[in-house]
Structure 1
Amino acid sequence: MNKVYYLKTCSTCVRILKTLNLPSDFILQDIKTEEITVKQLDEMKALAGSYEALFSKRAKLYKEMGLKDMNLSEKDYKQYILEHYTFLSRPVILANNQIFIGNSAKTVEAAKKAIHE
């Protein structure tokens, strides 16, 4: 399945979506209005290798909740991502059985290449 998990209120996500020039078979899921399910998160983890790889340590709540001072387990990362969308590193792009996490130029370029192969 080709899918993008993103926030439509995030200007970075919107900019990235424009540069990707997605084919019509892509499904877009705004994670603020349509929460991530356990099944979806498990599918992402299977491709990413860990929940930590999907977790955003740049989220405001990460510092506000004191999580940066805690030793979090995989179970904790999963729980926090499911509890609040802000903990998912965005965007997450699933394309041709590959996963691309985050908004670095290198990641976006790799995703673009995978999408248009």
Structure 2
Amino acid sequence: MRGEGWKKLPRIELIPIPEDVAVPSDIPASEVCIPSTYVGHDVEYENEKGKIVNENEATHLRFTGVDRRSDIVVGPVKPQGMIKLNLYLNDDEIPVVKEEASHVKSKILNERYMPL
């Protein structure tokens, strides 16, 4: 069962960041697409340390998935990648909602969702 969390992520359509989301100026929004399952749910504005801030102070965007078991953070982190995918897991490595997770696994991806 260990390590299967990533395999359970569904293939989903990639779409542009919604126009109603204020995108920090350092994020090249025209280059970034996000999975459709992260649209229409929670969007948080963060600084480079992951602290929630208002949209005018933000350097990163955090989009929470519909099932609240994962989120993505989009930021100006080239060349190391622009997207961090977080999967929230319990002790048995089963995806759970963030509030019930005992740990998180993350992958850094480029704007085309290729692992770095």
Q: TM-score, normalised by structure 2?
A: 0.32
Highest relative contact order (Cα 8 Å, sep 6+), 1 or 2? 1
Larger % of helix: which?
1
Q: TM-score, normalised by structure 1?
A: 0.32
